Structure 1
Amino acid sequence: MVMAQTFETNYERPVGDLMNDVAQRFGVRFKYNVDTVGRQLPYADFRVRPYSIEETLDNICKYFDWNWWKQSDKLYKIKPYEYPRRHVEEGQQMLNYLSTLYQNKEQWEARRDTLRREVRQRLGLDAFLDSCVLGKPILSKIIRHDGYTTQNICIELTPGQHLFGTIYASTAKGKHALIICPDGHWPMRYRKDEQQRLGTLARMGAVCVDFDLYGWGQSAEEVGEAAHHTSRAHVYQAACGYVLLDYMLTNRKDIDHQRVGVMGGSGGGTHTVLLSLLDNRVTASAPVVHLASHFDGGCPCESGMPVQLSAGGTCEPELAAVMAPRPMLIVSDGGDWTASVPTVEMPYLQRIYGFYGAKEQVRNVHLPNERHDFGPNKRKAVYDFFIDVFHLDRSKLDESKVAILPDEALKTKLK
């Protein structure tokens, strides 16, 4: 016998039954990444808003610390609460709030300086750098290709744990732009599209350096793959970019210190924004398929340390805005969280750049029909940007000239 819903029973119902009723009422389907079996919801039917499925889902999900995500007009996914992920509307509200904090360049720069200081503190970067060994780098033999060279670099950061990367350098004479290239969560930095991108930029006159994510590639051989899903990965990867930038500027004579860039996609975009904020020697930045006001990065290597709580609360576009008025390219697409960039994040960034009379210095290439990758059109956007701001040689733009090396050729032998 089913007990009647009354005040005495808190109008309680099994949440699964209620969700079935909601699906029928609004003509939608639900996919679940949560377990509804045995879950009871008090005041169940009173949580339903007949005029809004999304308010209804808010009322139901928040009781269980769940969240909903709209997949299409007829499909919603129910997932556990995720601290780095929010709805687009929440991102817009955050940017609206942040915009009330500064009305001119002076007010913005006071906020900017606070952000730099507190992000660094919350990340724990200085304490980490103090613990670093930073011994003499191990450099492999230089391999010559068509218009560029590759050379592997290894630097011991903390005892027994190393930064592993590869330098792609132009063979042209003179000083070259430097581009630090944090990697994202695609299959290792040895993959074809990364070699194409860094090799092409090197052929056009740059020196590019990438490096393994913590717990990926050779790093996984030292610390294990599980180490990547820890807060240490966040500070470790930030330190890798910071140490590489400092090493390249300090030790190489072929670098033009006025042309220093950072470029990365997805999780590499997170660390592009972070390095641009931490080191004001960066003169141009290109976060690709990353930037959103409603997503901080879904991996601990991006959000394992609480940098988003800095200065009373912030988000990725505000952290990226620290670049102003220096050139920045935002590459976005219609198939991931960056779909909102043209209408939500770009107006905010243009306002900040407008404080300097430099709105044209922040650019967006939006690819509405593409998905989350670093495909040909995203690479073309990056090439065009660095050709423009770093005066690279467009006549050398030919990905077919880049040699695709086997994985082992891009690894450093420690013994």
Structure 2
Amino acid sequence: MGKKKKQKLGEDESLAKPKLKRSASQLGLVDTNSFDGDEVLTIPRRKVVKEDVSSPELKKAKVEEENEDELTGGGLSDEVEYDHSVIGIFSREAYETSMGVNWRNQMEPNTDRLATKISKKRVDAKDQQGLFDRQNRTKESAYGDQINALFKNKMIPHVIAVIEGETEEEPITLKTKVKETELSLKYERKEYKKGLKITKRGERQIESAEPRQHLTVYVRDDMTDVYSVSTVEIPRSYKGEKRKMKAVAIDYETTDGKKYRTLVVHIKNDYASGNKQVRQSHEAFKAYARDVASKEGRVVTGYIGDTNYDKPFYERSVPSMGGYSSSGEHINPRASANNTRDTNYMQHIPLDDQADEYSVRQPSTLNYVFPETGSVTDHPSILGYTAHKKRLKGRNSKVNPSYYDFELGEFT
């Protein structure tokens, strides 16, 4: 018998592969912190043409055509305004571990180590440095300074989720500029999922804090009526046992009354070890999304954060670094300082085929921040975007009036 072909992650027919569009930031349509009102973005809308792609030949030709459109901008119709849900993920380590020190020693001085080996092969060497140069690398000790360094020259998030470590500080302030006006945007802590570990002593089970599973969520003060935050459980099995994965649900609505949810995750290693466990975890998220849609009428668009998946679940579920090269290719960040293999832990993975009303877009890489004291970083942090045809419901432009330089009535 011949050797059985090893199946790749995306080849399971039960995992419908959605087409992730490039994130708005990678298209060059989002400015940086000085963007004049970065909530409403003008991005091209693709024409939706239903064609017969039933045969393998037609299907292959259609895929090639779509890929070409992504690179050349072909098939674009009139520009329309979209609104975005924007979530920043700050990945930290709970302790000053040898892995964290190794990460800092490798990633801070040497830009060549920042990207995965396989993604660098796609990008011409002369373009790589330009993409790397868009990623700041700094050392900061204070927690607030780390937050500001993380988002310097990046899109301002609505929500900031901090993975791992003691992060009960509230509020946090992000400094930015609109036109020539300096602004300080406050973020309120809305959820603190305390990590717990169970220790057995005889017949007793003792709970204690596990900082490696802490997850803290902050919401910008003009967006507190947009987003509600809660901790949820996703049922799954593990080696024949019934288990539950915990996540933080970021809920919001659009002005047409449709309800959405993004899950922020830090998946345990057990549930991400090998293709079988990765598929089971993803199927558990999909089953959870179906259940929420049935019971609440809410669309769970996807999950974002530290998945601990070694491989990209989809080509564009992993973040790009510094946008796209002149040939339309992108490089992806390494998720750990492992010398022997690529890792892709930080991802934003959609959970359906992307309805016409919204689109999960490729995440982008935030700046590299190396804390001088206390908790350290061992993964890149990322920014996730979900585009919507309708406005997000509940913005309070009176909180930060200088931040909004357009017709305020559009956002109420």
TM-score by length of 2: 0.28
Tell me which structure has the larger Cα radius of gyration. 1
The answer to which structure has the higher strand fraction is 2
